[in-house]
Amino acid sequence: MTIPPRRPLTLRDVSEASGVSEMTASRVLRGKGDVSEATRIRVLEAARAIGYVPNKIAGALASNRVNLVAVVIPSLGNMVFPEVLSGISAALEDTGLQPVVGVTDYLPDKEEKVLFEMLSWRPSGVIVAGLEHSEASRVMLARAGIPVVEIMDTDGEAIDACVGISHRRAGREMAEAILAAGYRRIGFLGTKMPLDHRARKRFEGFTRTLAKAGLEIADREFYSGGSALLKGREMTEAILARSPDLDFLYYSNDMIGAGGLMHLLSRGARIPDQIGLAGFNGVELLEGLPLRLATMDACRREIGEKAAGIIAARHADPEMEGGQRIELGPTLQYGDTLRHPRG
Amino acid sequence: MTIPPRRPLTLRDVSEASGVSEMTASRVLRGKGDVSEATRIRVLEAARAIGYVPNKIAGALASNRVNLVAVVIPSLGNMVFPEVLSGISAALEDTGLQPVVGVTDYLPDKEEKVLFEMLSWRPSGVIVAGLEHSEASRVMLARAGIPVVEIMDTDGEAIDACVGISHRRAGREMAEAILAAGYRRIGFLGTKMPLDHRARKRFEGFTRTLAKAGLEIADREFYSGGSALLKGREMTEAILARSPDLDFLYYSNDMIGAGGLMHLLSRGARIPDQIGLAGFNGVELLEGLPLRLATMDACRREIGEKAAGIIAARHADPEMEGGQRIELGPTLQYGDTLRHPRG
DNA sequence: TTGAAAGCGCTAACAT
DNA sequence: ATGTTAGCGCTTTCAA
Q: Spell out the per-residue pLDDT of chain B, length 343, in tens.
A: 555 556 899 999 999 999 999 999 999 999 998 999 999 999 999 999 999 999 999 999 999 999 999 999 999 888 899 999 999 999 999 999 999 999 999 999 999 999 999 999 999 999 999 999 999 999 999 999 999 999 999 999 999 999 999 999 999 999 999 999 999 999 999 998 778 899 999 999 999 999 999 999 999 999 988 889 999 999 999 999 999 999 999 999 999 999 999 999 999 999 999 999 999 998 888 899 999 999 999 999 999 999 999 999 999 999 999 999 999 999 999 999 999 986 5
Question: Which residues in window 19-48 of A are less than 7 A from strand C by Cβ?
Answer: 22-23, 26, 29-30, 32
DSSP, res B294: B
Phi and psi at residue B186, to the nearest 5°: -110, 130
**A339 found inside a domain:** no
What is the average pLDDT across A272-297?
Answer: 94
Distance, CA of B307 to CA of B301 (rounded, Å):
10
Distance from CA of B135 to the nearest CA of A (A): 9
- What confidence score (pLDDT) does residue B13 get? 96
**B177 found inside a domain:** yes
- For residue A69, is pLDDT > 70? yes
For the four alpha carbons of B150, B125, A84 and A296, in that order, the dihedral sign comes to positive
Confidence of residue A3 (pLDDT cuts 50, 70, 90): low
Decide if A139 and B289 are in contact by the 8 Å CB cutoff: no
- For residue A339, is pLDDT > 80? yes
**Tens of pLDDT along A128-148?**
999 999 999 999 999 999 999
- For residue A343, is pLDDT > 60? no
Which stretches does DSSP call E strand in chain A? Answer: 68-73, 98-103, 125-129, 148-153, 161-165, 186-191, 219-223, 248-251, 276-278, 295-296, 325-327, 332-333
Count of domains in chain B?
Answer: 3
Question: How many Å apart are A22 CA and D5 C1'?
Answer: 13
- Radius of gyration in angstroms for the set of CA atoms belonging to chain A, rounded to a whole number: 26
Question: How many Å apart are A38 CA and D4 C1'?
Answer: 22
Phi and psi at residue A41, to the nearest 5°: -65, -40
Phi and psi at residue B181, to the nearest 5°: -80, -5
Same structural domain, B179 and B227: yes
- Any strand D atom closer than 7 Å to A41 CB: no
Distance, CA of B283 to CA of B298 (rounded, Å):
9
Q: Give kind and range of the element (H or E) at residue B278.
A: strand B276-278
Length of chain B (residues): 343
Distance, CA of B58 to CA of A57 (rounded, Å):
8
The pTM assigned to this predicted structure is: 0.94
Decide if A82 and B82 are in contact by the 8 Å CB cutoff: yes
Distance from CA of B77 to the nearest CA of A (A): 6
Task: Report how far Cα B247 is from the mean position of its chain's Cα atoms.
Answer: 33
- Any strand D atom closer than 7 Å to A55 CB: no
Same structural domain, A20 and A48: yes
* Domain extent at residue B92: 64-165+300-331
Same structural domain, A240 and A91: no
Same structural domain, B305 and B159: yes
- Buried/exposed B24-43: b ≥16 CB within 10 Å, e otherwise: bbbbbbeeeeebeeebbebb
Confidence of residue A195 (pLDDT cuts 50, 70, 90): confident
**B291 found inside a domain:** yes
What is the average pLDDT across A34-47?
Answer: 96
- What confidence score (pLDDT) does residue A77 get? 84
- What confidence score (pLDDT) does residue B78 get? 84
**Looking at residue B46, which CATH number applies to its domain?**
1.10.260.40
**Tens of pLDDT along A221-240?**
999 888 899 999 999 999 99
- Any strand D atom closer than 7 Å to B55 CB: yes
**Looking at residue B270, which CATH number applies to its domain?**
3.40.50.2300
Question: Which residues in window 145-174 of B are less than 7 A from strand C by Cβ?
Answer: none
Question: How many Å apart are A118 CA and C6 C1'?
Answer: 29
- What confidence score (pLDDT) does residue A329 get? 94
Confidence of residue A36 (pLDDT cuts 50, 70, 90): very high
